[in-house]
Amino acid sequence: MHTHAWRLTPDGEYHWERVELPPLQAGEALIRLRACGLCTGEVMDWYTLRKVPLTPGHELVGEIEALGDGVQWLAVGERVVVHHHAPCLQCALCRRGAFVHCPTWRSTKLFPGGLSERFVVPAAIVRVDLLRVPDHVSDERAAFVEPLACVVRSLRRAGLKHGDTLAIVGMGVMGMLHLLLGQAWGAGQIYAIDRLEHRLAFAESLGATPLHADDAPHTLRDGAAVVVVGPGSEPALALALQIVAPDGAVVLFTPAPPDARFPLPWHDLYFRETRLVPSYSASHMEMRIALTLIANGLPVERLITHRLPLQGAPEGYALLRRAEALKVIVSPQ
């Protein structure tokens, strides 16, 4: 059996290629793609190009076409959200809840990848993180489960409490998801911080208080209990450290390149008891919370700005690079 998939090559170009699929093994699943969200992390070249050649795409909802021997809790024809990693649930890291650091989690992947007409899901993922989509949840909404799961992890690790002031630096789609989840979880004032006026206007339409980055230190004199740093840049982190409240948390939501360095303001961090909280990806636990939030009505579909056919994925990535899109959803024709 074969499929067609997008392949990203070392020159940064996308190629629509025919790919032979291996015979389905015990515990595996063959999934036909129904919708895939394009992730802004996939246009972060220093991060993505070191992995090429690859088939990108990991914000997935599909339909089960076939199941390997032994998979009796799922059925052909069911719609499912597909995670691209899954933990073993048995190692020392898993036993203490550090699922995203489990060697199995890090080594599992889809073949050939999400931006494919169909793909094979390994047994480890089928066993732990292939989630049925409720009938009332559309494919487009279901495609938000994985990115929302990352945001669930972010705000849980930050310790956001009801009534806390939340500031979000960088109002791309992940910043907007932090906004929606902050509202759902009872944050008090939510400040949306960016330099792009159209993103500030959109965040305001969702109910946040918009702030140009240059105005944020003056406006947030008392600080925010939680500050989420969207861009993996030194200026974004420096701003976050200016506006976080005493005993507050700064969430490092996006990675920085391996050679990036930041001067640690040790004195201020100590006496203000500022917590720096990295938040990397999401596990099967956050995936289930995210699916429940979406099934219960979190309005993630408001963030979709572009809908394209699967063959238009490179155009979608170009829109993300130019900051002309929030969420791009691609679907087979």
96-134 pLDDT, tens digit per residue, is 999 999 999 999 999 999 999 999 999 999 999 999 999
Q: Which residues, 6+ apart, have CB-to-CB distance to 74 below 8 Å?
A: 29, 64, 67, 80, 126, 130, 132
Output the average pLDDT for the chain.
97
Span 7-29, pLDDT tens digits: 999 999 999 999 999 999 999 99
pLDDT for 155 equals 98
Whole-number pLDDT of residue 93: 98
Q: Does residue 309 have a pLDDT over 90?
A: yes
- Average pLDDT score over residue span 134-154: 98
Given this model, what pLDDT does residue 128 score? Answer: 97
Question: pTM score, two decimals?
Answer: 0.97
Mean pLDDT of 248-254: 98
From-to residues of CATH 3.90.180.10 in the chain:
2-133+299-331
Class of domain 159-278: alpha beta
236 has a pLDDT exceeding 90: yes
Q: Given this model, what pLDDT does residue 322 score?
A: 95
SS3 for the chain is: CEEEEEEECCCCCEEEEEEECCCCCCCCEEEEEEEEECCHHHHCHHHHHHHCCECCCCEEEEEEEEECCCCCCCCCCCEEEECCCCCCCCCHHHHCCCHHHCHHHHHCCCECCCCECEEEECHHHHHHCEEECCCCCCHHHHCCHHHHHHHHHHHHHHCCCCCCCEEEECCCHHHHHHHHHHHHCCCCCEEEEECCHHHHHHHHHCCCEEEECCCHHHHCCCCEEEEEECCCCHHHHHHHHHHEEEEEEEEECCCCCCCCCCCCCHHHHHHHCCEEEECCCCCHHHHHHHHHHHHCCCCHHHHEEEEEEHHHHHHHHHHHHCCCCCEEEEECC
Residue range 158-193, pLDDT digits in tens: 999 999 999 999 999 999 999 999 999 999 999 999
Count of C-beta atoms within a 10 Å radius of residue 3: 20
Residue 333: is its pLDDT beyond 90?
no
Please give the average per-residue pLDDT across 210-237, as a whole number: 97
Which segments of the chain belong to CATH 3.40.50.720?
A: 159-278
**CATH fold label, 2-133+299-331:** Quinone Oxidoreductase; Chain A, domain 1 (3.90.180)
Q: Tell me, what's the pLDDT at 1?
A: 84
Q: Provide mean pLDDT across the span 268-280.
A: 98
